[in-house]
């Protein structure tokens, strides 16, 4: 004996992203699904899906970098929030008690040490404020020449880092750039790349 005829319909609610997650950069897709028998709704479900590009793996280390020879960034109680952000593919900027933003982070001497440091997550976009093409001396773990750029972020603070993926002869003040992240086996580093 046949059962009831069940139909299903799905409605795409919204798509949110891109978001940086522990799994990698992704988009959250919300759906509303309804099951019906005839004109009667018999079940419904809200469904959220994360579609993501997996975070980098050790094999994604660029050929011009040797993580075993490179100097690792040092982390302290006052900068751990920043480096934790880099590992999560976020640029975190310290927000002071008066609401102003500061980078590099300053010791939060005005507050109890057990209180977490307040920060905002940067868009990661900005423009080259100043730069230098480094030819010498050799830097452990890096291939010369490479470009070091002081970037003025959309949030108004300036941050120093390597500008990758750009011909040094074409780098210019005012050039739009965005943050990119390099994941080594045990640590992560941020850099800049052209935002074209």
Mean pLDDT, consecutive 10-residue segments, the chain of 196 residues? 80 83 80 88 85 63 88 88 95 92 80 78 97 93 95 97 96 98 92 95
Half-sphere exposure of 30 (CA within 13 A, CB side): 6
pLDDT, position 58: 46
**Which is it for strands 146-153 and 158-163: parallel, antiparallel or unpaired?**
antiparallel
The domain ranges of the chain are: 6-54, 58-194
pTM equals 0.67
Beta strands in 38-175 (DSSP E): 40-54, 92-95, 101-102, 119-121, 125-134, 146-153, 158-163
Cα 60 to Cα 12, 57, 87, 182, 183: the distances in Å are: 34, 5, 15, 8, 7
Q: Give the burial class of 92: count Cβ atoms within 10 A of its Cβ; 0-12 exposed, 13-18 middle, 19 or more buried.
A: buried
- Separation between Cα atoms, residue 41 and residue 86, nearest integer Å: 47
pLDDT, position 3: 79
């Amino acid at each position: 004996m046949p059962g009831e005829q069940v139909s299903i319909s799905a409605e795409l609610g919204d798509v949110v992203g891109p978001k940086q997650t522990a799994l990698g950069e992704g988009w959250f897709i919300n759906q509303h699904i309804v099951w019906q028998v005839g004109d009667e709704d018999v079940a419904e479900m809200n469904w959220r899906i994360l579609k993501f590009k997996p975070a980098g793996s050790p094999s994604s280390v660029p050929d011009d970098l040797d993580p075993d020879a490179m100097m690792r960034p040092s982390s302290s109680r006052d900068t751990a929030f920043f480096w934790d952000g880099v590992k999560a593919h976020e640029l975190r900027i310290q927000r002071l008690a008066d609401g102003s933003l500061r980078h590099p982070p300053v010791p939060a001497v005005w507050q109890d040490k057990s209180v977490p440091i307040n920060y905002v997550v940067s868009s990661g976009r900005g423009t080259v404020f100043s730069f230098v093409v480094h030819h010498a001396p050799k830097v452990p773990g890096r291939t010369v020449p490479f470009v070091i750029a002081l970037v003025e972020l959309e949030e108004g603070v300036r941050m120093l880092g390597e500008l990758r993926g750009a011909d040094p002869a074409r780098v210019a003040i005012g050039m739009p750039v965005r943050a990119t992240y390099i994941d080594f086996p045990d640590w992560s580093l941020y850099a800049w790349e052209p935002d074209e």
